[in-house]
Structure 1
């Protein structure tokens, strides 16, 4: 900045007892830091008519605009030389600018720039050239110091941006324009941020956050002084693995090692791309609307076709998942969600474009029911129940489409324990089999008479063949005939012919299962009365 002091008029004193006219014009020319813009920040015109003898006794006051309020006050020494000039530039009754003189040369100028009654900008002069400017805060501490070159252009500016009393930021100028700056963010004496400028705009910024001598961020600016491209070491391993690209100062794309982010005009995520295998192929993508993810895709086998798509709603809740499990390019599995909880799964198991399996879940996300069209005829004949109170799984099969199970299978921990068959499709069980915890058949029941009652029961030995059988001949739910086997062959029979609960006929068979002996209890006293060879 250039400060010029001009003096016009007679400037001489004719006689102490005579009036004198001193016309003094004090002009201070200013230039904004970093800009070649000049202007006058005050112009003082003093016309004073006073006896010389009074000059050292009291200040000279002047109402320059004739509004009745003093707006300029000047103080002289005994020799009539100016010492100080005070000015009220905003007509509030308080002096907001003061100039100090030595040997009629200004050495300091003070200003109250925010008009709060406290001088906050101090300029210092040497031989009418400004050398230093200090900016003062409310605590009377210097928070900005500017040093000037011979031509009144700034050459260095120091700032205390934290109010700690430490100048953490320094700007350097050439021909009045900033060329570089440095900043010590933690005020430990080591510079963390370096920045260069051209044409009053930033060009490059380098940031070393951990002060290891390796930058974590390098930011390049475009011609408008806005961020254009930046590189980052987000993992602090010494490598700038992340690159960001900007448009109009906002990030539009970020590349991080094997990941790419694309942003919209609001700076919100628009698309996400990832090479999960680091093979050079983008196999994972995510799409966003208003910064919220709406879809994510995965090309698991990297054939250029989507294998999995996940969809979200506006509340960022997952609503659907589509999968191509056999990698034939066609989605075959569909999962549906409510409030981010799976409710249903549908699957095309034979790749014919039709759903042939549906799986339903309860409110806790546990499997509840599954239906399957095993023969691809459009009818879901097989039903799996996962919510039976006594069984881990119950499977029902309806082959004749009458909505009634033709077969039912009961499982405990994946082991078949009971099987029921309706072989004649009358809605009644014709065959029921029981299995032990190891899955071995131990008992079976048959509706031999087609009465709707299981009248024949078989019991099996450890090695598999039947060991005995029981028969209800009159469907009264009581055993009338018992058959006994050894190694799968019939050896004897006991029959209750009068249905009193006691056997009255006994038969014995040989190894060829031929009848060799029969005994009868004719009076039903429990003892055989006759025997036939």
Structure 2
């Protein structure tokens, strides 16, 4: 497989994933759900935060950018007593398309760091995106692009940057394509041809590999040149010191 074919295949896969996870694309065609009213006349916005009927939690409503009515809810945990009493954010949910139903929820730990996020990205009433954070940084994203309730794409991040992707392209519940990323770009892609969940063929981006190897070789050459320069400077200093000692030792002592 040539580099052009590899990149074209990856672009096609990314385009398909975008169609399934970008609310601005697929969401425009996806079926909408209607917000229902409760018996008391209030709207059931399908809250995903645990706060109703709890004395240890407090919720606040705000209107985000572009919203006329409040569409953002933050839920706080009441912690401590007396002077130590304070509120800690534990959950936030948003109605991103202003239809009255919450479609994104994120939960936090006691430090205020993000833990998990769930989203209905195509607004059909079902969660299709699951995000996991590690120490507050993006770690994993699972996406259900065919609306069967199960993820068929898994993205893994290292240091907040995309490191690898697994895809289930034949919809059998098992990954059959693996993508490895480096420096933010696809380095190689593995394909399972016989359905045993093992890579049968690796396709490489040879141009990226060459650039990475050239960069590493350049760093090694620069480090070697710097080491040689330092060694030469140290040797010159040592020679100068020896010359000064020898010159001083050969001089006749002063007469009294």
Q: Is the 8 A contact 1:309 1:321 kept in 2?
A: yes
Q: Measured at CA, do residues 437 and 341 of structure 1 come closer, stay the same or move farther in structure 2, by a change above 3 Å? A: farther
Q: Is the 8 A contact 2:72 2:93 kept in 1?
A: yes
Check conservation: 1:359, 1:370, Cα contact below 8 A. Answer: yes
Question: What do residues 373-414 of structure 1 show as CA deviations (whole Å, max 9, x unaligned)?
Answer: 0111111111111149xx842100124565542001111232
Match of 2:126, SS state, is coil
Over 3 Å counting, the alpha-carbon distance change for 1:319 and 1:429 in structure 2 is same
Identify, as 1 or 2, the structure richer in strand.
1
Given the superposition, is the C-alpha separation of residues 371 and 304 from structure 1 closer, same or farther in structure 2, using an over 3 Å criterion? same
TM-score (norm 1): 0.25
- TM-score, normalised by the number of residues in structure 2: 0.51
What does 1:25-36 correspond to in 2, within 5 Å?
none
Shift of 1:314: 0.9
Using the alignment, how far apart are the partners of 2:183 and 2:189 within structure 1? 15
Query: Is 1:414 matched up with 2:184?
Result: yes
Deviation at residue 344 of structure 1 after TM alignment: 0.1
Residue 341 of structure 1 pairs with residue 105 of structure 2:
no
Question: Counterpart of 1:350?
Answer: 122
Output aligned runs, 1:43-442, within 5 Å: 294-300=58-64, 304-315=68-79, 316-339=87-110, 340-362=112-134, 364-387=135-158, 392-400=162-170, 404-436=174-206, 438=208
Aligned equivalents of 1:407, 1:302: Cα separation in 2: 39
Which gives a bigger RCO, structure 1 or 2 (Cα 8 Å, sep 6+)? 2
Give ranges in structure 2 of 5+ residues lacking alignment.
Answer: 1-55, 80-86, 211-256
CA RMSD in angstroms comes to: 3.0
Could you give the per-residue CA deviations for residues 232-267 of structure 1, whole angstroms, max 9, x where no partner exists? Answer: xxxxxxxxxxxxxxxxxxxxxxxxxxxxxxxxxxxx
SS state at 2:204 partner: strand
Q: Using the alignment, how far apart are the partners of 2:136 and 2:114 within structure 1?
A: 6
Contact 2:155–2:162 (8 Å) recurs in 1: no
Aligned counterparts of 2:170 and 2:109: Cα–Cα separation in 1: 35
SS in 2 for 1:393: strand
What displacement does 1:369 show? 1.3
Displacement, 1:353? 0.8
Choose 1 or 2 for highest CA Rg. 1
Gaps of 5+ in 1: 1-291, 441-533
What is the deviation of 1:438? 4.9
Tell me by how many angstroms 1:294 deviates: 2.3
SS at match of 1:317: strand
